[in-house]
Structure 1
Amino acid sequence: MTFRMFSLFVGFVGYALVARPHLPAADDPIFIESSAATGLAFTHVNGATGNYYLPEMMGAGVALFDYDNDGDLDVFLVQGGALPSSEREAPTSRLFRNDLTIGADGRRTLHFTDVTERSGAGVRGYGMGAAVGDYDNDGYLDLLVTSFGSIALLHNNGNGTFTDVTRQAGISDSAWSTSAAFFDYDRDGYLDLFVARYVDFTAAANKLCNDPVGTRDYCSPRVYRPVPARLFRNDGRGHFVDVTAAAGVSKAYGAGLGVAVGDYNGDGWLDAYVANDGTPNQLWLNRHDGTFVDEGPLSGAALNSEGNPEGSMGIASGDFDLDGDEDLFVTNI
């Protein structure tokens, strides 16, 4: 099994090359905003109250995946919340089922139905990102949600519903997780899990920071201690084993915001690239023995052209120049 999946903290990004017979006129719209018309009613809540809590600066992710195996992509939108968090008052993330119809004339009508409550996918917490993958090989895509202070693994039951199996799966985490990726790094046929994490922040220990002219502002992530990423090996029985230290992934880390997976050196084994906010990025090359080595500095993928770390965030991975190897697109602030 060679299935691989990546997701980004700030959203789910796909890439494609599309052949078009002609370019539209300059004043013709290429994209039309149609969320309201198609039933995608959603407002992200960051819960800002004037206390300048660091998570309030963050947007949240989205996952496009066919959870009901009907051939079209459904939409999962990650929700924020309030800090300090109050699960009773906080809104939940939302799952929208794609009810695409195709008429006899071939015309497509796109509509989404909010199935959050009936599906059990309404994750609460200050959400950050999402990743999807069939971790138990039952033919249905499962869903993982990263959050400030928690993580949630939702098992797809195959009947339109999900069950929270976070604790049973062994991946509970109270740290600030941001991005995640399912990938089969040991090639045993089961998807393993890489979770990027940010900094050691709590609302109770919120620091006071000012901008250059002395006005209260959000702190830089450099004010807080970064938290190492975690690597979980899938044991094939619905459970994950934390192999972060054994795999060497804890040897280098920063304030992680994005992770992408791909075979970056073309050796047939999946690697992982981590985008860090204000600290060098890591390129974890797979050594085929269950361990990884960070080749970010030697590969030129850790710093910018001036030798400085960027405020790296989202990542897209793919062969954009069609030369047969994986390239990286990294957003920076």
Structure 2
Amino acid sequence: MVHKHAFEALDRTMTDVFSEGRSIRSDIPFGGKVIVFGGDFRQILPVIPNGTRQEIISAFLSSSYIWSKCRLLRLTKNMRLTIGAESSNMESIREFAKWLIDIGEGTVGDDNDGDAIIEIPDDLLITDICDPIQSLIDFVYPSIIEQSRIPGFFPERAILAPKNEVVHEINDRLLSLFPGDAKEYLSSDSICQTEQILYSFQESLYSTENLNALKISVLPNHRLVLKVGVPVMLLRNIDQQKGLCNGTRLQITFLGKRVIEAEVISGGFMMYTTFVKFLDNPESLKLEDLVLR
């Protein structure tokens, strides 16, 4: 995403610094030092405020005079997918990776002039048009009640969703499948009264009903409903040495008024039991560290 002018400025600066008192040719980039660039032009475009398509393309590093002096190295092996994978699945992994690259290159489908029709393989499609979300849940989490206690069942499965409302719907569907009574936790919803003069104005402007109805990605929801046995994910770094960090997946084993007991089911600290304590008022627990996944 960096503008090419930043790289060109670095090139001129390093050439000036390392050429002083030394016989370095002016055509050698970066004063003869090796610079490694990383990234993919197909991922994210440089940000040009109110820029046209031509201005955005011209901001790429590939449009700079430096590009002709660069050596292009391509990463062709998907380490994340191939490590630990069975040899029988390697060919399908390679075919899927090639299919994704072909879509990015625009070589899939008919002539691509901005719009193209792409045929998606049948094994990637949800064919149930009546209730596609339930069909997806049944595919990713088959026999969830019987297998929820099997080690490795939840860490190997996840559902990605593009929007928060879809995430909430999937979470509610999965939660309803677990037996037992659900326990509700609410966040603290009172306005800070340190500014006494502005308190009455803020209270009328930002009502608790409006604040509690907000559902945005940067803040946890006001209402969190959990059951014993459901998987959750930490969103804060609590104790990294014990594996309690952002992204750690846990499974609820006990729900109390002030304590939530869960065991780690992902990473190198599996089966480590942790108590996530919240010392607020039991009627208004502040659970900013947990989100249902």
- TM-score, normalised to structure 1, is 0.24
Pick the structure with more strand per residue. 1
Point out which structure has higher relative CO (alpha carbons under 8 A, 6+ apart).
1
Structure number with greater Rg is 2
Pick the structure with more helix per residue. 2
